[in-house]
């Protein structure tokens, strides 16, 4: 896997985050497809950063990604405070749409892996309405348990035989990043972990209003929607992130 060296990047806690926009993110994905280096892309938010902070093995997976985009506003602010005032948010669901638009234009087949069968059906319909020329080479809703060795091999064979060059993975963090790291060496495709984007674009889960997103309050909207599932992720991880990143900034500014 070829890692980017000419795009500004900083470590937020232990996670390497690239300072880039949608166009440059696609350029790196397209170059990896064209050059046959492939690999996988991570879309980073506070949850991912904190999961990596506590789990050394997962941290390694994140930092070996072809590209790691700042999906959450706290990471955008972090990049700005660490010396990159030009940093912008590269929001996962919007990056997925941008990649679909470019894949349709460049006739690169895509594959959808993750979520539920009914969600994938709606997702396909909505994507093809928006991008009529998009080639969806295949879809798969995996079991919620860990796949058997035979199932994992069958999935890789299905993706390879489909001819897909870009695989959108919607399993949620950290499951999707672990899946990508395990399967990427066996696939001639770039894998991109897009998390909840499948549900958003299928219309099964609503996104936060646009006005909330630049304020960094999208987490609150999602917490109110799914409090039992998300309270730990947002309340505990967000609090720990504020303390730890605050300490990182203090150490950096100390003489």
**34-65 pLDDT per residue, tens:** 999 999 999 999 999 999 999 999 999 999 99
**131-154 pLDDT per residue, tens:** 999 999 999 999 888 889 999 999
Give the rounded percent of residues in the chain with a pLDDT score beyond 70: 97
Phi-psi region of 10 (alpha: psi -120 to 50; beta: other; left: phi over 0): beta
Indicate whether 209 pLDDT > 60: yes
If we measure between CA atoms, which residue out of 23, 12, 80, 26 comes closest to residue 190?
Answer: 26
Do the beta carbons of residue 66 and residue 190 sit within 8 Å? yes
Q: Mean pLDDT throughout 73-95?
A: 96
pLDDT score at 2: 44
The more confidently predicted of residues 210 and 244 is 244
**103-119 pLDDT per residue, tens:** 999 999 999 999 999 99
Indicate whether 120 pLDDT > 70: yes
Phi-psi region of 104 (alpha: psi -120 to 50; beta: other; left: phi over 0): alpha
**Residue 241's pLDDT band (boundaries 50, 70, 90)?**
very high
| Average pLDDT score, the chain | 93
pLDDT score at 221: 79
d(CA 138, CA 124): 10
pLDDT score at 198: 97
Least confident span in 94-103, 166-175, 200-209, 230-239: 230-239
E strand map for the chain: 9-12, 15-18, 39-44, 67-70, 110-114, 136-140, 166-170, 190-193
The more confidently predicted of residues 66 and 2 is 66
Whole-prediction pTM: 0.92
pLDDT score at 218: 81
**Residue 5's pLDDT band (boundaries 50, 70, 90)?**
low
Do the beta carbons of residue 192 and residue 170 sit within 8 Å? no
pLDDT score at 224: 79
pLDDT score at 3: 46
The more confidently predicted of residues 74 and 233 is 74
């Amino acid at each position: 896997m070829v890692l980017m060296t000419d795009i500004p990047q900083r470590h937020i806690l232990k996670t390497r985050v690239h300072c880039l926009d949608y166009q440059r993110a696609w350029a790196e994905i397209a170059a990896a497809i064209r050059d046959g280096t492939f690999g996988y892309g991570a879309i980073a938010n506070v949850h991912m950063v904190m999961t990596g902070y506590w789990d050394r093995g997962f941290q390694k997976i994140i930092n070996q990604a072809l590209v790691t985009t700042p999906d959450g506003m706290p990471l955008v602010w972090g990049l700005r405070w660490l010396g990159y005032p030009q940093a912008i948010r590269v929001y996962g669901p919007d990056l997925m749409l941008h990649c679909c638009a470019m894949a349709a234009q460049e006739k690169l087949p895509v594959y959808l892996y993750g979520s539920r069968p009914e969600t994938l059906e709606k997702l396909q319909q909505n994507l093809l309405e928006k991008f009529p020329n998009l080639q969806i080479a295949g879809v798969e809703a995996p079991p919620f348990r860990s796949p058997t060795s035979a199932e994992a091999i069958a999935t890789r064979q299905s993706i390879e035989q489909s001819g897909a060059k870009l695989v959108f993975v919607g399993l949620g963090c950290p499951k999707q990043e672990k899946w990508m790291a395990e399967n990427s060496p066996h696939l001639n495709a770039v894998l991109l972990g897009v998390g909840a984007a499948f549900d958003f674009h299928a219309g099964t889960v609503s996104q936060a209003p646009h006005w909330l997103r630049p304020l960094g309050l999208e987490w609150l909207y999602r917490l109110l929607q799914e409090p039992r599932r998300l309270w730990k992720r947002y309340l505990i991880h967000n609090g720990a992130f504020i303390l730890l990143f605050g300490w990182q900034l203090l150490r950096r500014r100390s003489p």
